[in-house]
């Protein structure tokens, strides 16, 4: 069962990463600026690329969509694929999936790709190499994610338990 959950966590991570990258490609960097290091966000506001109000609106919208897209696959994998309907199963599996994605995001997407690719660079911030190479910013969010994934895992566990009561 452990090997199966690890494989599912990798699949979950790849699927969520593809979703996130497609969203970035469709929306563009301006809509994802809330995920950037503070110095880059400040420069973008300073240059009129975005306002603080727009930044906040994009963050709220994308985080809401992201939460749903993070939780629903956890529920589907736990209930439909693994045929488990307990709170503990939903909680543990979703916590593993969420943190596997978070590790992949910090290591591959952020530390390797974001920090070393022009794909993510916002026009007008090209000279901010130090800010784009701020590894600590990305890893801070990984460690924060270890704690912030707990409420999502609790919600997922609760939904899985409710489904178990209905099914």
Task: Give the number of other CB atoms < 10 A from CB of residue 74.
Answer: 28
Cβ-proximal residues to 58 (8 Å cutoff; 6+ apart), any chain: 27, 30, 31, 32, 33, 34, 50
CA distance 158 to 153: 8
CA distance 101 to 17: 8
CA distance 96 to 156: 12
Q: Which pLDDT tens digits describe the chain residue by residue (167 residues)?
A: 789 999 999 999 999 999 989 988 999 888 999 999 999 999 999 999 999 999 999 999 999 999 999 999 999 999 999 999 999 999 999 999 999 999 999 999 999 999 999 989 999 999 999 999 999 999 999 999 999 999 999 999 999 999 999 98
Whether the model pTM is above 0.85: yes
CA distance 148 to 111: 20
Residue 57 lies in domain: 2-166
3-state secondary structure of 9: helix
CB 2 within 8 A of CB 100: no
Domain count across the chain: 1
Cβ-proximal residues to 165 (8 Å cutoff; 6+ apart), any chain: 85
CA distance 57 to 106: 24
CB 108 within 8 A of CB 13: no
In the structure encoding, which two tokens stand for residue 76, read together? 């589907």
């Amino acid at each position: 069962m452990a090997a199966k959950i690890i494989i599912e966590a990798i699949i979950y991570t790849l699927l969520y990463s593809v979703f996130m990258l497609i969203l970035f490609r469709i929306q563009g960097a301006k809509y994802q600026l809330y995920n950037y290091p503070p110095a880059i966000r400040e420069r973008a506001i300073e240059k009129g690329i975005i306002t603080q109000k727009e930044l906040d609106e994009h963050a709220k919208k994308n985080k809401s969509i992201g939460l749903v897209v993070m939780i629903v696959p956890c529920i589907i994998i736990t209930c439909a694929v693994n045929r488990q309907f307990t709170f503990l199963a939903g909680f543990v599996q979703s916590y593993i999936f969420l943190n596997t994605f978070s590790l992949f995001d910090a290591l591959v997407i952020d530390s390797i790709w974001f920090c070393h690719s022009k794909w993510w660079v916002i026009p007008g911030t090209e000279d901010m190499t130090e800010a784009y190479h701020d590894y600590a910013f990305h890893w801070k969010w990984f460690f924060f994610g270890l704690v912030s994934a707990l409420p999502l895992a609790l919600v997922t566990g609760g939904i899985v338990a409710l489904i178990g009561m209905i099914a």
